[in-house]
Chains A and B, each alone.
Chain A
Amino acid sequence: MALAAAGAAAQTVPLKATLVAENPTWPVVDEKSGAVMDLRVTLQIENVSDKPVSILRFNDVRAYAGDLAVGVTDPTGLSVQPFVWQMPAPKSRDGSEWGSKASHYLTLQPDESQKIDLTPGFFGYTQQDPTTAPPSEYKITPFGPRRYGLVRHGKSSVRVTLKSGGDASVAPEGFWQGTLQAGPLEVRRVADTKGISGRLAGYLKKAARGPKVQPVAATYFGGPDFEEFRAVGSQEDGTIVAFGNAWGPTFPDTGDAELTVLGEKHWLDVTPYQGGQEYRFRGQRDGQGGRMVFAGFDRLYPNRAGMIVRFAPDLSKVLSVTRFAWGNASIDQAAVGAGGKLFIAGQCTEHFEAIARKAGKMHVVPVPDSPKAGPVRYQDKVDLSGDVYVARLSPDAKTLEWVVVLRGHRSISPLWFDNAGGVSFDSWGIKRVDAQGKLRMVELTWRAGGRIRTLGVNPATGGVLRGGDRNTGTGREPWRQPQLTMYDEAGQPVWKIYDWSPGLVGHDDYRLVSDSAARVIAWDRQGDLWFSGWSDGGNSVFTRNPVDLDKGLPQRGLGMSLWGAGVGSFCHIIHMDADTWKVHGYMTFAAYLNDYDPATRQYRDKPNSVRIDKLVPFSDGALAFMGGASSYLVQTPNAFYRRLDQDWSDLPAAGGSGPFFCVLDKTLGSFLFCSTMPACDLTDLTETSRGLAVVSTTTGISKDYQSPPVVNALQPAYGGGRGDGHILLMQRPDALKGAE
């Protein structure tokens, strides 16, 4: 084992490297041979100069198995920016020929604003062994074939862990050698679409045209524990209201903002993790080894405290925070209704009724007569009531105006509003509370078979649109048929579209047999319908007029083509008049692969999967939507996420996978913004007076070491724990009118 901190060039500064540990006490062992597979060496690297270290360069790093992971620990100041290296495969398995002798670089940049408090098990899918690793030690492991990343801090020192892994059956002694030095690093950037071809290149160029909306502000909201934002709304005066939960036991510091706590604390001594344990063992498919991974949160966790954070219109200030005391109620669905009233819904415990009784009105709906309703057992420790609730608060979030407690209903849908100030929701049937707080049931008198994927209330008429799909067959193949059925306010069916007979769809003249489903519904203020359909291929009925199979639809957007799609997940957005079924706009949306396929030795040009979770029509006719994407999302050049290629190139706008949102102009013809949101679980977005507010729950850093945007931030640094709330404000699309 040899290590030296060397200064080879004029720019170098001395570093002190110390071997801290070799072979930790919890290696992964090959069960058959008994060989150590997970050999680790940990080094303490200190900058003993008075100059900041910008780069760590490992010279002559040798990896045996072609699977070398690097981690940096003890973060105290330095931020290590996204780092990628390619480790060639080993030339032999006996260690006689090393897999790599190349130099590898870690970029370290002091950036206090990006400081993130690492927590064991922080990195989604590769978690620290909780049983043996000290809390201050962290490990970062590969995020793709032959790619390794490193991101972290260290004001004066960093701790580096190198480990072998992968399919090594024997880890040779002294499996790596390295020297360390500091020096400049030239990062190669690709300014154009060089290296990208096919449809991806074309759509990237189209998406880059025209003015783009920019972020106005973006901030974290969170403390040392887990906090999440679940929904966002906007009040008439521009106030942005973010809804979410704190999982405790501590609540984030609210600073000067007024804090209102509803109810009394009823903390239960249970864990928030699925299965009762923070970590679980994930074995490999072949049964050989595995690793500990984060078990995930249990959404039934009864201690959650729903919180409402009211921000100034430009996110420059937190105006007020209202939260439930621990163990009363969560907020899982929320929105801002007419008059700035706040509507919230979620799970609640039996203690919540003490809060509800203080409201102006309270309705209690009894437990449905079904074995799927009623109390639930939480982690075999405590019985929970299974209650859910819907409530309306005053615009300042201090007073509950009415509450509906749905005993034993267990779950509740999103909330939909009508122009009369009422709110509708689905929890064992559609229920409606009018503006005066009067509750009534809406019985849909006709329900076809199949699944309900989405519901939406037309704010202009109060009618309910039900979207979904059913399994059927064309006579030649099975086919999942989309369904959109409109009901009037009384629950009577009014019309149904995409109700083609399956045999017709399978006819040789059409062959529109890709499985399809209606997934997302939205209504704009004019009463026009927007919806998103999902298909598993390119031959979808969504490419035809919803009421006339012989008529195509004019493709807007980037004119994305789905030829050669194969089986995936592709989206269609349709804007239509709900009375005449006239289609105002239509576009398909997909990502596009452009990677090298070693099997065919060609670059693939093929649509890749996307998913749309929410559509938000703007009052001026523009559209925003959010969802999830597989690799190579077509982004705009000002995207937050930059995909790093294998050679450390920066592809200009071809996004990676993950949650994304997109803003289109009112013609659907121009992309105003499109980006994946690194490290974020996007939960909601809404139009505000200043732009588009996007909320998410963030882990602060993604598994490929990118962080969400922080702009004019109230809280520029990640607060800690397994997650924080994150809110982003983008410019309004109509702010670009002068720039066009």
Chain B
Amino acid sequence: MKRFAVICLLVGLAIPAVLADLEGRPPAGVKVTYNYDRRNPGWCSFRLTLRNETKPRPLFIAGRNESGTMTVKFPSMEGVEEFEGVSGISDLVGTVETQSTAVIDAGQWSANWIGAEQFVGTAWLNQQQRPEMKVRIVDVTDWQQKTDEKRRPLDRDLFEAKMVFELHVGDKKIRLTRPVTARFRAPSSRGGKYAVRFSTDFSFQGSQLGLTGRDAGTIDAKMVIEGFSTFAGNTDEQLRKSLEDSEIPTLD
């Protein structure tokens, strides 16, 4: 009975905050699973741009999620105590925890063999069969909410973290740890899904991934990865059910 009362209290506090629709991230204490299945979202949510100062044309790559999941657990119940009435949820207390096995198929390239020497990645383009490119997210750590005083309230969904990921091209790969910017997006009133968008800039040596000539040197990359929860539709109903069913509410 006591436990039921606590849950009721939590529901009473958390649901209005969610429904206020100010926050893109899930409410504190909720664990969300972002599913990187190929059909989620079913279109290209990944993009990667490779630039090399010696080449006139950057290589633009788009891709679709392929497999795996990323679980993001926001600080647990202690954070709830920081709710501040009408202004919504205060800054998070505690640590965001992430588990990831996500793989992205970076398979749509904005170039083919025509004028391959003009593009970054000439050696890849000139291969008889273009090499497969994949990105595997290994882990995301060191989450910190961005504390820009000038930010708008909506930017409370903005975080910085460190992402450990691998870039595979054919049988070669590089493993990188880079700061990323993460933005959480809530389902809109019209439906949709929870989403998290990672963006990062990084550099690598082209030779590490089999590139030669002018491409063998430093290549600057810009990457955007987006994951979506499988849950969609009536947010508050789902959350209410989750809160009632478990001590650690989960959305997946």
- Known A501-B109, A501-B110, A509-B224; judge A495-B44 contact (CB<8 A): no
Q: Report yes or no: A485 in contact with B114, Cβ–Cβ below 8 A.
A: yes
Q: Which residues of A contact B (CB under 8 A)?
A: 446, 474-476, 485, 493-496, 499-504, 506-509, 547-550, 580-581
Interface size class of B (residues with CB under 8 A): 20 to 34
For B44, give its contact among A494, A496, A499, A507 (CB under 8 Å): A507
Of the candidates B43, B64, B109, B222, the one having the most CB atoms from chain A within 10 angstroms of its own CB is B43
Report B77-111 CB contacts with A as 1/0, cut-off 8 Å.
Answer: 00000000000000000000000000000001111
Interface pair A504/B56, CB less than 8 Å apart: no
Given contacts A493-B115, A501-B110, contact A509 B47 (CB under 8 A): yes
Instruction: Give which listed residue, A476, A493, A504, A550, contacts B62 with CB less than 8 A.
Output: A504
| List of A residues within 8 angstroms of B62 by Cβ | 501, 503-504, 507
- Knowing A547-B56, A580-B56 touch, does A496 contact B43 (C-beta < 8 A)? no
- Please, which residues of chain A bring their CB within 8 A of the CB of B114? 446, 485, 493-496, 499
- Assess the B224–A500 pair: CB atoms within 8 A: no
Bound-complex Cα distance A446 to B116 (A):
15
- B195's closest neighbor in chain A, by CB? A508
Residues of B within 8 A of A549 (CB): 60, 110
* Given contacts A474-B43, A475-B42, A500 and B115 within 8 Å (CB-CB): no
A494 to chain B, nearest CB (A): 6
CB of B103 to closest CB in A, whole Å: 17
Q: Does B200 contact A (CB under 8 A)?
A: no
> A499 and B111: CB pair below 8 A?
yes
Shortest distance between the CB of A545 and any CB in chain B (Å): 10
| CB–CB B43/A494 < 8 A | no
Q: Closest 7 CB pairs between A and B?
A: A503-B44, A475-B43, A501-B108, A504-B62, A495-B115, A503-B62, A500-B110
21 A-B pairs within 8 Å (CB atoms) are namely: A474-B43, A475-B42, A475-B43, A485-B114, A493-B114, A494-B114, A494-B115, A495-B114, A496-B114, A501-B60, A501-B109, A501-B110, A503-B62, A503-B64, A503-B108, A504-B61, A507-B44, A508-B226, A547-B58, A550-B222, A581-B57
> What chain A residues lie within 8 Å of B63 (beta carbons)?
503
19 further interface pairs, Cβ-Cβ under 8 Å (given A503-B43, A504-B47, A504-B108): A475-B42, A494-B114, A495-B115, A495-B118, A496-B112, A496-B114, A496-B115, A500-B110, A501-B61, A503-B44, A503-B62, A507-B47, A507-B62, A507-B224, A508-B45, A547-B57, A547-B58, A548-B57, A580-B56
Q: What is the chain B residue whose CB lies nearest that of A581?
A: B56
The complex places the Cα of A169 from the Cα of B18 at a distance, in Å, of: 63
B209 to chain A, nearest CB (A): 19
Nearest CB in chain A to that of B63: its residue: A503
B246 to A: closest C-beta gap in Å: 32
Question: Is B242 in the interface zone, CB < 8 Å from A?
Answer: no
A506→B49 CA distance, assembly (Å): 15
Closest chain A residue, CB of each to CB of B224: A509
Chain B 44-72 interface 0/1 with A at a Cβ cutoff of 8 Å (1 = within): 11010100000011101111100000000
Tell me the minimal C-beta distance from B45 to chain A in angstroms: 7
Q: Which residues of A contact B112 (CB under 8 A)?
A: 496, 499
> In the complex, A448→B115 CA distance in Å?
14
Tell me the bound Cα distance from A436 to B1 in angstroms: 101
Q: Given A446-B114, A499-B111, are A476 and B43 also a contact pair (CB < 8 Å)?
A: yes
Residues of chain B contacted by A499 (CB below 8 angstroms)? 110-112, 114
